[in-house]
Structure 1
Amino acid sequence: MPDGPTPGPRVTLRRWMSSDLDAFAGLNGDVNVMATIGPVMDRAESAAFMQRIDRHFADHGFGLWCVDVSGEAIGFCGLMVPWFREGVEIGWRLRSAWWGHGYASEAARQVLAYSFASTPNGLGFDEVISFTAATNERSQRVMKAIGMTHDAEGDFEHPGVPESSPLRPHVLYRIAAGRYRSMA
């Protein structure tokens, strides 16, 4: 299996390195970034999250790659197995200074191409899901831009978010390999 998605014209997806911790902590500590995701993380929480990402790669062979633009770590995009439901989730998070320039969509398209490519060049998945807080319109725009469709019947209350939080209601999006291939 290859190490990850093929680099795009502007974006390279690579594994996180210990030297990326400052950028990773800055991403997770940015109140603008975390406003529709959850509480900001301090450096220690970000380091623990980075370790969980490494464990996910070790356990599954895929995870959240660093979005690298010209040698700068601007965020992450990749695949995770959710702890509370079936499926493989695509997700992304970029530093707010990089929003609105198409980097999330470009990185997500690279991840989908890798997800649906036949092995040994890809993961050979049949479907990829994505979910976000119902209030996170930016992520929903990315989901639509990469060809995902809203599965309103699958919308849910996120079990990892406090019941009193406005971020608890989540929307579910899906894309099947056949749909992805018909768009490519």
Structure 2
Amino acid sequence: MSEATSLRTKRLVMRPWREADRRGFRMLNADPEVMRYFPRPLSAERSDSIMEAWQDHIDRHGWGFWAVEQASDGAFVGAVGIANATFPAPFTPAVEIGWRLSRAYWHKGYAQEAASEAMRYGFDELQVDEIVAFTLPTNLPSRRVMERLGMRHDPADDFEHPSVEAGHPMRHHVLYRLARVDWRATAGRR
């Protein structure tokens, strides 16, 4: 078990999960608009299972997909972080970055702000060589965040996500990558 890390940005706190986050995370995962790039909205039980798995990752490693709250008032925003991706794919094992925010917090720059800090932590503190991100080809909002983070897409890296059933229209995913050396070369320009 590692000591859990919390991160801060100007407007956000990224921290381990609390029981009080359960309700907000359930609401976020049940929102069809938030979940439109996933096969389906999640049940309360599945949402709880993911929250517990993400906290378990934090307990084991000290970092992971953190709960995110506004620094000003402690309001639950969503989840952002980095975690080990170990499912079978040509690019795994890898460290992935991801975000899922409640709709009330879209279009405020929160995803990029928190993801930038998670990426900094991964490259500077953990010294990972590369961070990846993936989504559906049609998820243009997340793809724009990936591009603003400096990540690059090569269609040769795209893959069929093994946790989505064969033949499902959401099985095909695009992969973005950023190497630590490339991040360091551009970090000052962000």
TM-score by length of 2: 0.89
Quote how far apart the aligned CAs of 1:102 are: 0.6
Give the count of matched residue pairs. Answer: 180
- Contact preservation (8 Å) 2:4, 2:58: no
Distance in 2, Cα, partners of 1:169 & 1:87 = 18
Amino acid at match of 1:135: T
Percent identity for Structure 1 against Structure 2:
39
For 2:140, the equivalent position in structure 1 comes to 137
CA distance in 1, matches of 2:151, 2:17: 27
Of 70-79 and 38-47, more deviation after overlay is shown by 38-47
Q: 1:72 aligns with which of 50, 59, 75?
A: 75
How far off is 1:5 after superposition? 5.5
CA deviations over 1:10-61 (Å, ceiling 9, x no partner): 1111111011100010111110011102321122211111111122123333
| Match in the other structure for 1:40 | 41
Contact persistence 2:6–2:16 (CA under 8 A): no
Summarize deviations over 1:111-133 as a string: whole Å, max 9, x none.
0110111xxxx211111001111
The amino acid across from 2:47 in the alignment is: S
TM-align CA RMSD: 1.5
Question: Residue 181 of structure 1: CA displacement?
Answer: 1.1
SS of residue in 2 equivalent to 1:88: strand
CA separation in 2, counterparts of 1:62 and 1:91?
A: 13
Give ranges in structure 2 of 5+ residues lacking alignment.
none
Runs (4+) of structure 1 moved beyond 2 Å? 1-6, 58-61
Pair 1:53 & 2:60 matched: no
Deviations 1:127-165 (A, max 9, x none): 100111112111101000111111221101111112232
Q: How far apart, CA to CA, are the structure 1 residues paired with 2:10 and 2:40? A: 33
Listed as ranges, the gaps of 5+ residues in structure 1 are none
Tell me, what secondary structure is at the counterpart of 1:170?
strand
